[in-house]
A and B are shown apart, each in its own frame.
Chain A
Amino acid sequence: DVQLQESGPGLVKPSQSLSLTCSVTGYSITSGYYWNWIRQFPGNKLEWMGYISYDGSNNYNPSLKNRISITRDTSKNQFFLKLNSVTTEDTATYYCARNWDGWFAYWGQGTLVTVSA
C-alpha cells in the first residue's frame, strides 16, 4: 500500500525559505497520480498548496504562486516543497497527499512547521 512521510525542519525564521520532503513508498511517483502539498493552520483551516504530476508538471494555488515551488527526485521517489519569504502566517502542519480525480485518498502523517524568530 502507498505510504507518504513528510520530513524537514520544524522551525523556520521569518523571511527565510521553508523546505520539506515527502518520501513515498509502495508506489512510484512517476507511474501516475498527482502529488500534493496541503497545509492546516492553527484553528484547523485546510489549504491546498499545489502538486507535481507523475509527468513532472505543476499546478499551484494562485494565492501562493509567487512563493511556491514543488519539485521531485524520481531516483529517491521523493517530492519537495519550497516556500519562500515565509512569515508567521505560514505556521501550519504540512501534509503531503496523493490524488487523481480530485479527492485525497492518501495522506502523510503531517509535520508541524513554526515560523518564528
Chain B
Amino acid sequence: QSALTQPASVSGSPGQSITISCIGTSSDLGAYNYVSWYQQHPGKAPKVIIYDVTDRPSGISNRFSGSKSGNTASLTISGLQAEDEADYYCMSYRSTPSWVFGGGTRLTVL
C-alpha cells in the first residue's frame, strides 16, 4: 500500500503563502472526501489542522486552508509565521477500511 505523494520540502518567507500538494489515487483521495492534514513539530505528536478536506478544528488559525481536486489534495498556509515551521502530513481514508499517510513535507520559514 503506497503512501500518498508529497513534496519533501517547501519554503517561504514570513507573510508569504505556500501550498503543499498531496497526490493519491482513485482508491483514496479520488474516492473520498476524508482528507486530513497534520502538523508536527520536532519531538512532538502530530496535531490535526484540517479535516474532511476543508474544515478546521476549533482553535486552528484560518491561515490554514485545504482543498481537493480529483486525486490531489492541497494545504495552503497564508501569512507564513515562524511558528509554522514544521513537518506536514496529509492522510486519507481508503476502503476496506484503512488509512494512509503522505510521506510528509518539511516547511522552512526563511
Q: Do A and B bind each other?
A: no
Which A residues form the contact surface with B (CB < 8 A)?
Answer: none
